[in-house]
Homo-oligomer: A and B are copies of this chain.
Amino acid sequence: MTPSADLVISGCTILEPGLTFRDGATLVVRDGLIETVTGAPAPAAVRHIDARGQVALPGLINCHTHASMVAFRGLAEDLPTEEWFNDVVWPVEANLTARDVALGARLACAEMIRAGVTCFADHYFAMDEVAAAVTETGLRAHLGQAFFSSQGARGRAESLEFALRHRDGAGGRITTALAPHAPYTVTEADLAATAALAQEHGLPVHLHAAENRDQTETSLARHGVTPIDVLERTGILDTDVLIAHGTGILDRDLPVLARARGRVSVATAPRGYLKFAWPTTTPVRALREIGVPVGLATDGAASNNSLDVWEAMALTALVQKSTTGDPRWLTARQALDHAGPQSARALGLDDRVGTLAPGTRADLILVDLTGPHTQPVHDLAATLVHSARSADVRTTVVDGRVLMHERELLTVDVPAVVEELTARLPALQERGHGRRVQEYDI
């Protein structure tokens, strides 16, 4: 006799690989994996969720964030990039303690679970605390300890130590990367050494590059090369590299990216580009033409104001239509492709998440479409991308474990985290010391 499944979800519509929808689906989850997707009646299970009227989607993936920066949400508003960094963010980050990062990470995990995010790529400081928050809250994460060359050799060494210490942590839910900050804050020698470490230890790299057009133009003026050229000549493009933003990627960079020997991917976080009034956005269409996957992201809440990947999905569609001048491009279906398969590829996790198929990890969300704002349904992909909102996610499951059910968070005590974090804010936001973790001087 077959023992009971761990979790069965029945009666839902499911987004299957190939971006097709199937109605009346029954998902059977065992040992953290999706065992079957059928139209059969629900078998016996330890836990059964009746999901009639709901849509099962792959959990959203936040491909580039700084989770703990939720502590700075709303602190640096309506500022140009340089002032945002130099006058607010980098001064207050000089105050950060491990406890601040721990609390911020827990609050961020709560926000993401409620928004249907099941995995996030984080790039920050005191990352042991983020790994602990991931372990505790049940999310999946791709973590890297950030470093600047201004830290000397110690920064790179600690990034490596973190990556090795936490690789395959939290029962396999944590993967790691080396995390140099960006070509304008990390020297070419340091990038080259990072690339060598990545090769030696089989680690990917996650960094900011060509974030905006100014950075690219300054790099060209000062050094005669673009940030993407720097990644190539330092060997970073020979590794599996996740590039955050890339709104400053030029046409001349495309063949460079196309010939990269590593797996190159880009994370796009369009809300911040609008808010900073950057003149360009991530060239998603051009990257598609050279086969570079583009994952969805929110960046940190200090610029994006939320970790709402659902909003990033809709904005990616809208901003891509607008910037290409083509309303037919980046359809709702393509947006779902970026949200699931492409985001999973961007993090090198497409062997386990990003699509709902037997054998993949059970990272999924259930979305309620019975609200008046999502009815009637003429085109389910359009309803999901353009009418539904993150608040329509009712249930969030990672590795077969239910982290939110009927919008109730099951693994984070939000009021306790907010209370302790709020008490720490006066010290955290103090800028009278005049210090910064780094200088924005592209």
Interface segment among A127-135, A150-158, A230-238, A377-385: the answer is: A377-385
Interface membership of A185, Cβ < 8 A: no
A168 to B373, CA, bound (A): 29
Interface membership of A305, Cβ < 8 A: yes
Q: Is the CB of A373 within 8 A of B308?
A: yes
Q: Which residue of B lies closest to A334 (CB)?
A: B78
Q: Which residue of B lies closest to A323 (CB)?
A: B277
Interface residues of A in 269-309 (CB under 8 A from B): 271, 273-279, 301, 305-308
Interface membership of A114, Cβ < 8 A: yes
Residues from chain B with Cβ under 8 Å of A179 in the complex: none
Give a binary string over A314-329; 1 marks a CB under 8 Å from any B CB, 0 the rest: 0001110110111111
Q: Is the CB of A414 within 8 A of B326?
A: no
A108 to B374, CA, bound (A): 11
Q: Is the CB of B74 within 8 A of A382?
A: yes
Q: Is the CB of B421 within 8 A of A321?
A: no
Residues from chain B with Cβ under 8 Å of A326 in the complex: 277
Give a binary string over A364-400; 1 marks a CB under 8 Å from any B CB, 0 the rest: 0000001111011111001100110111100000000
Contacts beyond the supplied A73-B383, A370-B415, A376-B421: 8 A-B pairs with Cβ under 8 Å = A71-B376, A77-B386, A78-B329, A274-B318, A277-B322, A277-B326, A279-B325, A308-B373
What is the CB-to-nearest-CB distance from A360 to chain B, in angstroms, rounded to a whole number?
27
Interface membership of A193, Cβ < 8 A: no
Closest 5 CB pairs of A and B: A391-B391, A305-B386, A110-B372, A274-B318, A74-B378
